[in-house]
Amino acid sequence: MSSRFAAGMFVWLMGVTLCSRGFAQQYPSVDGRQNPLSQMSPVGMAAEWSRGLGIDRPPYFQPVQLSLPEGCQLAVYHGPRRAPIELSNPGQAGLLVGQTYRYLVTGLVDFPGVEFYPSVELIDRLHPPAGQADQFPVTLELTAEEFELAAKGRLITKVVYLEQPDRVPTATLESTTRMTDLPPSENAIAHADVLGRPIAIVRLGGRTPDPHRPDPQFFGMGAPVRLGPTPRAE
Amino acid sequence: MKYYFLALGTVVVVCVGCAMDGQQITQKGEYHAPPASMMQRPGPMVDGPGPGVMPMLAPQAPRPFVASTTQVRFIGPDGMHVGWQIPGGYAENQIVAPGRYNFLQGNTYRLKLTNVPGREALSLYPSLQVYPAHPNTDAYLSHNSVPVQLTAEDLDQFESNNFVTKVIYLPDAKFQELAIANVETLVSTRLDPGVDPVQEADKRGTIMAVIRMGNMDFEMPGPRPGVGPTTMMGGSGVEQTAYSVDGLEGQHMPPLPIGPAGPGAGGIPGAMMMAGPGTPPGPPISGMNGMPVWGQPITGTPIGLAGPANLPYGGPAGLKSHTVRNRTRQDIPEPVDHMLIDVIHEPGISLPKPVKYMEYKETHPVYQPGELSYPAWAAPQGGGQ
CB-based contact B64 A205, cutoff 8 Å: no
Identify the band that residue A200 occupies on the pLDDT scale cut at 50, 70 and 90: very high
Residue A27: its chain B contacts at CB < 8 A? Answer: 173
Taking CA atoms, what residue in B is nearest to A101?
B65
Identify the band that residue B348 occupies on the pLDDT scale cut at 50, 70 and 90: confident
Helix, strand, coil percentages for chain B (3-state, nearest 5): 15, 20, 65
Q: Give me the residues paired with residue B69 across strands.
A: B104
DSSP letter, residue B194: T
Mind telling me how many Å the CA of A75 is from chain B's nearest CA?
Answer: 17
Residue B269 has pLDDT above 50, yes or no: no
Taking the C-alpha atoms of residue B378 and residue B373, their distance in angstroms, rounded to an integer, is 10
The whole-number average pLDDT for the span B263-283 is 48
Residue to mutate among B65, B95, B137, B183, with most A CBs inside 10 A, is: B65
ipTM above 0.95, yes or no: no
Boundaries of every domain in chain B = 69-219+244-260
Whether chain B has a CB inside 8 Å of the CB on A79: the answer is no
Whether chain B has a CB inside 8 Å of the CB on A23: the answer is yes
Mind telling me how many Å the CA of B367 is from chain A's nearest CA?
Answer: 28
Nearest to B64 among A149, A208, A220 (CB): A220
Boundaries of every domain in chain A = 3-19+45-208+218-226
Mind telling me how many Å the CA of B38 is from chain A's nearest CA?
Answer: 9
Q: What is the pLDDT of residues A23-71, one digit of tens each?
A: 444 677 777 777 888 888 888 889 988 888 888 888 999 999 999 999 8
Spatial CA neighbour of B32 closest among A15, A22, A189, A41: A22
Instruction: Find the helix or strand (DSSP H, E) in which A32 lies.
Output: none
Burial A71-83 (b: 16+ CB within 10 A, else e): ebbbbbbbeeebe
Helix, strand, coil percentages for chain A (3-state, nearest 5): 20, 30, 50
Taking the C-alpha atoms of residue B349 and residue A36, their distance in angstroms, rounded to an integer, is 11
Q: Which of residues 44-73 of B touch A (CB under 8 A)?
A: 61, 63-69, 71, 73
Residue to mutate among A1, A14, A16, A21, with most B CBs inside 10 A, is: A21
Q: Which of A89-103, B21-35, B359-373 has the highest mean pLDDT?
A: A89-103
